Chain A
């Protein structure tokens, strides 16, 4: 079996349609939308198009769970025991079990909300972060950055379920959120253990995490203001082992990503 599987080789059936980040960045509507006052971007039931926005996000969670499964699965296989301790691989195997369950839950939530598998395009940049050649970079990019994003997303969806009085959505998101907290903590713990005597490697890994965090804050997707659809979940991140300084830094990264997007929009006018 091949090691280091590239994103284009991920197995998908004909229902799935792939999109690239460039499709989103180069969309000619971006700058025009930036000129509009569309009010708060928060995902809330009383906001216009709430049902379609929730369905869209739920499908994004579904494809994200598939890629998280694939990423954790690759980490159990791509490295020998010198590169990644067996106990780390056991943690990744356990995470695979969680992600498989999340995929199933997401499919059922899609059914509940009236969405079909593959209805929305799939971007693979989550899996791309799981292709780093150093297992510690993967743990920072996937477990700390992307599973951290999952905490923010699940918390946002859980609140959406609560606000709309949807018991199924709220319950499912709460369960998945609990798992994500353990995945992030796993990444934080292994980062500290494996780089205890190698501060340079730790810094490289944290740099990679910052890059991924900035990518996933693209255009203000995640942050702490009304302009951000996904809200930074400080409390759950703290439970997952993030220090207050780390959360503050992430908030700054998100704010910078939003400012960059606005500057890009203004500059292209």
Chain B
């Protein structure tokens, strides 16, 4: 089926936004544009859900790929302008979409097929993967800020030289697989001298749990 396809089907939920001033058509255009910019494979459809209840700075996203569809979930805060409450930030939206689409692409054909579901990945590994994604977005000309990503990386990877070296390696965009990233995360954990409570512990999510 994938060989015969000429383009992905894109689904945005909600179809129209009611709590925030996001123009759904503009968001759909940004999704298509970003898919093109990151060369997202046409073999897969893309389903994007935005939880418009959760504002900036409650930013979080989840990416999973199954049955020919990449399913992306975002808090509304990922797309919201920090300057204009409930307003859309095109730059933030492009970066968040780009990062998530690259991680979906990694799962499809980038050596991350063995990666656990996003919900089961700890903060350190998730941060490493996001650093790898944003580094590639930077090379593609997306409006990412290296220091912003570096701070988040240090927060979960450690404020030390080993962590900084790992960040530079990932930010370069040199290809890496899930197995290699997993090993890199272990190296960071070994070099992290913070007491256990200061290391990455959480497995909480902002995503509401679906009713059974």
Binding site for B on A (CB under 8 A): 17, 19, 23-24, 27-29, 32-33, 36, 38-39, 45-53, 55-56, 111-116, 118-121, 163-167
A48 contacts B58, CB within 8 Å?
yes
1/0 contact string of B170-212 vs chain A (CB within 8 Å): 0000000000000000000000001001101110111010000
Nearest chain A CB to B139 CB, angstrom units: 18
Nearest 5 pairs between A and B by C-beta? A114-B148, A52-B57, A46-B202, A114-B147, A165-B194
Nearest chain A CB to B156 CB, angstrom units: 8
A28 contacts B19, CB within 8 Å?
yes
Among B2-10, B37-45, B76-84, B107-115, the one that faces the other chain is B76-84
Among B27-35, B48-56, B98-106, the one that faces the other chain is B48-56
Most buried by B among A24, A29, A119: A29
Please measure, in the bound complex, the distance between the C-alpha atom of A47 and the C-alpha atom of B206, giving whole angstroms.
10
B57 contacts A114, CB within 8 Å?
no
Question: Which residues in A have their C-beta under 8 angstroms from that of B93?
Answer: none
B208 contacts A29, CB within 8 Å?
no
B83 contacts A120, CB within 8 Å?
yes
A49 contacts B145, CB within 8 Å?
no
Question: Which residues in A have their C-beta under 8 angstroms from that of B151?
Answer: 51, 55, 112-114
B82 contacts A45, CB within 8 Å?
no
B205 contacts A19, CB within 8 Å?
no
Nearest chain A CB to B142 CB, angstrom units: 15
Please measure, in the bound complex, the distance between the C-alpha atom of A52 and the C-alpha atom of B149, giving whole angstroms.
10
B155 contacts A50, CB within 8 Å?
yes
Please measure, in the bound complex, the distance between the C-alpha atom of A247 and the C-alpha atom of B202, giving whole angstroms.
33
- Is B159 part of the binding interface, using a Cβ–Cβ cutoff of 8 Å? yes
Question: Which residues in B have their C-beta under 8 angstroms from that of A29?
Answer: 19-20, 52-55, 76, 86
B145 contacts A114, CB within 8 Å?
yes
User: Can you list 25 contacts pairing A with B, beta carbon distance less than 8 Å?
Assistant: A27-B55, A29-B19, A33-B55, A36-B54, A45-B198, A46-B200, A46-B204, A47-B204, A48-B206, A49-B57, A49-B59, A49-B60, A51-B151, A51-B152, A52-B59, A53-B57, A56-B56, A56-B82, A112-B151, A113-B148, A113-B151, A114-B150, A116-B145, A166-B154, A167-B159
